[in-house]
């Protein structure tokens, strides 16, 4: 049986965090972002100086200078997560025979608490720390432990599942902050160090080389609602390294020999969940942008080019009758989108972006992911065998160029996310068969408020708090109007029953 290494990577997110469905932006602090950034990329002479020990770092084989500089800036993160667990329902035949005392509590949801461990990197002296989203996602408590053994309670400022990044904050000053480097300047074969807290051990440093860049492995798709055409695509352009990393390294630092942050360690490709030779880190170019957005705006400002892209290879190029065999084929141009306004057309092949040759969809998304609505990118396309440059001004998801506030994004999403379930609207045919004008089906219960009730998957909501529910937008609107401390009354049915069910949901 063939092994799918992407699937293996999905099994091996580096933190032992309990995976939950929804995420919360638990805090917001408007501030201008001031990072401790590196000086411009060194010249060839500077690189040689570094390699020979005459520059700011020691020679390969002696990484002590970089390790000593970086270790104090990498922290240990411990989280407490509470999830709802449903016990297996005992079949009625056993209950009828043994009586209600036999497994009487089974089938009822119960709360279960667990602990997890990861790493983080201090990016500012006043206590801002970057880590992975999956390290702190849905955590009830976040504890940060410094290398000098000091411990702080941390607040989650913002999370971004689409890049698996998060920013947290501890109340402290004069902390050692890491210097942010240049991931674009990384070369294949260049030495790097991974610093973190693997397997709940003390601070650990390992060494390896950059074995690939711009790697997309499909690991972040689990953070996106399946079959949702409106869902954003995760941005994956990982730095691949063979520096040994293990569970607990998540959110830790990948640094160059100058001791500069070039990536945040996020995942490993492994059949066992432990180190098997390949690790993946989010490039610091993306870390800087996402962190700055979370700190300044409270949410990530995403720019959209407005196309449906297809990554070219020889077979796809032949099928699409493209004049070149590599690049991004424009299969569709969104009406009134940025690409259409700039003059791009269906059938164009994007061969360069910002002067960089474009080989993969992951690379394109990473370049765009560094920019905000209103930013312009230079795109080179091959149209009928001739290359042309276009200036494309990125737009927000609403088609504008303005910043979308956190409140605009979370007002509708947060309400439904608290229910901890996936929903789908009834088709007209299903509604007719059930004798209702419309409704919303509970497709999957993952966690959250619905998991605390007796609602089962497949339940069709037709009313909420006395109001008709025909679409998920209706349910969102009703949920958004529920005040803190109030409840939600759901009325609906199951597909094979004409009986109406009433469920009180504590919100």
CA angle 429, 433, 437 (to 5 degrees): 75
Q: What is the DSSP string of 9-62?
A: HHTTBSS-PPP-S---------------BPPSPP-HHHHHHHHHTSSSS--TT-
CB half-sphere exposure, 236, CA atoms < 13 A = 17
Gyration radius of the chain over CA positions: 25
The residues facing 264 across adjacent strands are: 282
Q: Hey, CA dihedral for 88, 92, 93, 98, is it positive or negative?
A: positive
What tokens were used for 8?
């293996």
Active site residue 477: no
Three-state secondary structure readout of 53-71: CCCCCCCCCCCHHHHHHHH
The greatest distance separating any two alpha carbons of the chain, rounded to the nearest whole angstrom, comes to: 84
- Asked whether 142 and 17 are in contact (CB, 8 A), the reply is no
Tell me the residue ranges of DSSP E strands in 216-291: 238-241, 253-255, 260-268, 279-283
Which among 53, 71, 73 is positioned nearest to 62, based on CA atoms?
Answer: 53
Tell me the residue ranges of DSSP E strands in 394-432: 421-425
Active site residue 164: yes
Tell me the residue ranges of DSSP E strands in 361-500: 376-383, 386-393, 421-425, 440-445, 460-464, 467-468, 487-493
Out of 160, 164, 348, 447, pick the active-site residue. 164
- Asked whether 156 and 138 are in contact (CB, 8 A), the reply is no
- Asked whether 352 and 390 are in contact (CB, 8 A), the reply is no
Which among 146, 120, 114, 147 is positioned nearest to 133, based on CA atoms?
Answer: 120
The residue written with tokens 């940025």 in the block is: 338
What tokens were used for 196?
């973190």
Active site residue 474: no
Out of 76, 134, 242, 348, pick the active-site residue. 134
- Asked whether 107 and 87 are in contact (CB, 8 A), the reply is yes
Neighbours of 86 (CB within 10 A): 15
CA distance 141 to 19: 15
Query: Which of 259-272 are b and which e, b meaning 16 or more Cβ less than 10 Å from the residue's Cβ?
Result: bbbbbbbbbbbbee
Out of 124, 183, 250, 291, pick the active-site residue. 250
Helix axes 406-417, 472-481, angle to 10 degrees: 100
What tokens were used for 461?
């909501």
Q: Which of the residues are catalytic? A: 134, 164, 250
């Amino acid at each position: 049986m063939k092994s799918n290494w992407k699937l293996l990577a999905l099994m091996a997110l580096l933190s032992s965090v309990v995976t939950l469905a929804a995420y919360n932006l638990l805090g917001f602090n408007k501030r201008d972002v001031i990072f401790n950034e590196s000086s411009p990329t060194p010249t060839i002479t500077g690189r040689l100086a570094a390699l020979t020990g005459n520059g700011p770092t020691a020679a390969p084989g002696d990484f002590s200078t970089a390790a000593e500089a970086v270790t104090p800036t990498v922290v240990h993160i411990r989280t407490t997560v509470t999830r709802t667990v449903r016990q297996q329902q005992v079949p009625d035949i056993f209950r009828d025979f043994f009586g209600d005392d036999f497994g009487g509590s089974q089938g009822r949801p119960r709360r279960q608490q667990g602990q997890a461990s990861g790493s983080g990197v201090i990016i500012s002296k006043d206590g801002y720390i970057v880590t992975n989203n999956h390290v702190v996602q849905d955590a009830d408590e976040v504890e940060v432990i410094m290398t000098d053994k000091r411990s702080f309670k941390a607040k989650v400022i913002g999370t971004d599942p689409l890049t698996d990044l998060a920013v947290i904050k501890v109340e402290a000053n004069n902390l050692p902050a890491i210097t942010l480097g240049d991931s674009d300047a990384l070369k294949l074969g260049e030495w790097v160090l991974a610093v973190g807290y693997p397997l709940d051990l003390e601070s650990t440093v390992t060494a390896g080389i950059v074995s690939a860049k711009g790697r997309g492995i499909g690991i972040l798709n689990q953070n996106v609602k399946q079959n949702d055409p409106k869902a954003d695509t995760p941005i994956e352009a990982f730095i691949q390294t063979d520096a040994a990393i293990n569970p607990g390294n998540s959110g830790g630092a990948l640094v160059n020999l100058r001791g500069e942050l070039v990536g945040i360690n996020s995942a490993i490709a492994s059949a066992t969940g432990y180190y098997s030779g390949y690790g993946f880190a989010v490039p610091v170019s993306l870390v800087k942008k996402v962190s700055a957005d979370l700190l300044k705006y409270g949410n990530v400002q995403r720019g959209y080019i407005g196309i449906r892209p297809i990554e070219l290879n020889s077979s796809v190029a032949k099928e699409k009758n493209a004049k070149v065999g590599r690049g991004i084929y424009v299969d569709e141009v969104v009406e009134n989108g940025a690409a259409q306004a700039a003059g791009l057309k269906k059938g164009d092949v994007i061969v360069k972006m910002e002067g960089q040759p474009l080989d993969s969809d992951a690379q394109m998304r990473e370049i765009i992911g560094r920019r905000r609505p209103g930013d312009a990118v230079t795109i080179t396309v091959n149209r009928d065998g001739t290359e042309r440059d276009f200036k494309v001004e990125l737009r927000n998801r609403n088609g504008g160029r303005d910043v979308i506030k956190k409140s605009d994004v979370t007002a509708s999403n947060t309400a439904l996310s608290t229910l901890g379930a996936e929903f789908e609207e009834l088709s007209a045919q299903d509604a007719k068969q059930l004798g209702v004008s419309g409704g919303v089906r509970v497709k999957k219960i993952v966690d959250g408020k619905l998991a605390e009730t007796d609602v089962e998957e497949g339940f069709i909501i037709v009313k909420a708090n006395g109001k008709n529910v025909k679409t998920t937008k209706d349910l969102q609107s009703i949920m958004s109007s529920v005040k803190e401390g109030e409840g939600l009354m759901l009325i609906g049915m199951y597909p094979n029953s004409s009986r109406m069910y009433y469920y009180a949901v504590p919100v």
